[in-house]
Amino acid sequence: MKINIVYNNKIAGCGNVLETLKTALIQKKVDFKDYDISNMENYGNFTFVIGGDGTLLKAARFYSTFKTPVLGINLGRLGFLSQTDTGEIDNAVQKVLDGKYSTEERLMLESENSLALNDFVIKGCNTYRTSKFYLEINEKFVCDYIADGLIISTPTGSTAYGLSAGGPVLYPTLDTLVIVPICPHTLNARPLVVPSDEIITVKTSDKLLSVAIDGADTAECVKQISVKASKQKALLVFLNDDSFYSVLRNKLHWGISPERK
């Protein structure tokens, strides 16, 4: 087995975790190469990613081209997509080498040359006020919104920004997309779940739309955007048998009653 290691040096503690992982692989005589998140290559047939969910999202998009499975070592706050923490590296490496892991294909979104595993977040270029957005599906007008923006999300991304904006939680392997308005200036705007073969187009009465992909710090301004499911799939690695529902409980505290004091 040959291993890619992708790391994000902007996150505190990354250097120490990288050295721990490299030491574990050297001791087990495994070939590897390591890459900063801004300069990835594909040397191996498996990838460890050291960082938060943002780092994992970027790596998963990149390695989806090569159908290389990706495993996250969490250094972020939530680590919703990561499967192991920094204190479990030796155990994780051994499980990978023994083939004691599973993989799951995850639907991604595309617009022209851009890919998203979580979501496209669409706002007016003047982000300090509401904008008017026109929603079309398969070139047919659906509705318009006066809102802060719209989120077009995959099932994987339904537990990210879309959840915070009031969208539904979707099981991550469902073949659907979800459209969530952000702070709509109306009482009757609701999230919309559609089949993954639909083409979603958003236009605006403003001059330009601001589009951010998977929570990126920078956004591109365009006149309109069309989003659809990509033929490429992200390939995520799972080391244990925890269900999606247990992840919701453990990381988002879903369905847990508050304790009495």
Residues forming the active site: 53
Closest by CA to 119, choosing from 189, 203, 178, 193, is 178
Structure tokens at 60: 């998963």
Q: 213-250 burial, b if ≥16 CB within 10 A, otherwise e?
A: bbbeeebeebeebebbbbebbbbbbebeeeeeeebbee
Tokens 């050297």 -> residue: 26
Q: What is the 3-state secondary structure (H, E, C) of 151-184?
A: EEECCHHHHCHHHHCCCCCCCCCCCEEEEEEECC
Angle at 47 between CA 43 and CA 49, to 5 degrees: 125
Say which amino acid occupies 203.
K
Q: Which amino acid, one-letter code, is at 61? A: R
Alpha-carbon distance of 101 to 113, in angstroms, equals 32
Cβ atoms < 10 Å from Cβ of 134: 15
φ, ψ (nearest 5 deg) of residue 73: -105, 115
**CA–CA separation, 100 and 56 (whole Å):** 21
